[in-house]
Amino acid sequence: MDPHACIIVFAKAPDPGTVKTRLIPALGAQGAATLHEKLVRHTLATVTQPNLCAVELWCAPSPSLVWPHPFFARCQNDFPVGLRQQCGDDLGARMHHALDTALQKYSYAIVIGTDCPALTASYLQEALDNLRQGKNAVLGPAQDGGYVLMGVRQSHPRLFSGVAWGTASVLNETRARLAALNWQWQELAEQWDIDRPEDLSRLEIFFAESPENGNRDQIPPAKT
């Protein structure tokens, strides 16, 4: 276990109608929330089982205004994670705050979401290795033009302010900002994530071909 590192997992509470909204036409609000819950738990199992380093689950505010949300309380009971509340007006501000907070205690940190089921322990280890070896940052590119992982040795607001989050320009914007900061960074292999109805068939194939990661029952039935 690396005592100098921390993995930050960003997640929303699985409240129907507030998560995986682009999947609601295919799965319905409850089906999309159920899938989100399963993806969160899959991610937490992936990042905690190898005992790579400390893991913190940073939770988005819930409309229920309950802290911790019962789902997050169950996650903390089932996985060795600390719970923290996200803080900030947009995704960039929340990521900056989480990384800045973690780096007050650790030498480097990576932040991931829960939309990329194909993330593996070796992928996370590669990210940590690059930071430990002195890279200023590490990126895990996503096929849709965003990224599934960012790791840093320091959290600079320039990386997170004014980014068009949720668009195909996020990765290139981030690359330009890293270059402007004159940082050295490493990019890992490109990954896919689950955002749109057309991604569901790929998720089904992934679980079918990787029994250790789950099975087709993890995908809620399509809305009828």
pLDDT > 90 fraction of the chain, expressed in percent and rounded: 80
pLDDT bracket for residue 215 (50, 70, 90): very low
Residue ranges per structural domain of the chain: 2-218
Distances (CA, A) of 34 to 72, 81, 89, 192: 14, 21, 26, 20
pLDDT digits (tens, 9 = 90+) for 24-71: 999 999 999 999 999 999 999 999 998 999 999 999 976 666 678 899
Q: Where are the alpha helices (DSSP H) in the chain?
A: 24-48, 70-78, 91-102, 121-132, 170-180, 200-209
CATH code given to domain 2-218: 3.90.550.10
pLDDT digits (tens, 9 = 90+) for 149-207: 999 999 999 999 999 998 999 999 999 999 999 999 999 999 999 988 988 988 988 87
pLDDT on residue 178: 97
pLDDT digits (tens, 9 = 90+) for 74-129: 999 999 999 999 999 899 999 999 999 999 999 999 999 999 999 999 999 999 99
Neighbour-count burial of 118, counting CB atoms closer than 10 A to its CB (0-12 exposed, 13-18 middle, 19+ buried): middle
C-beta separation of 127 from 140 below 8 A = yes
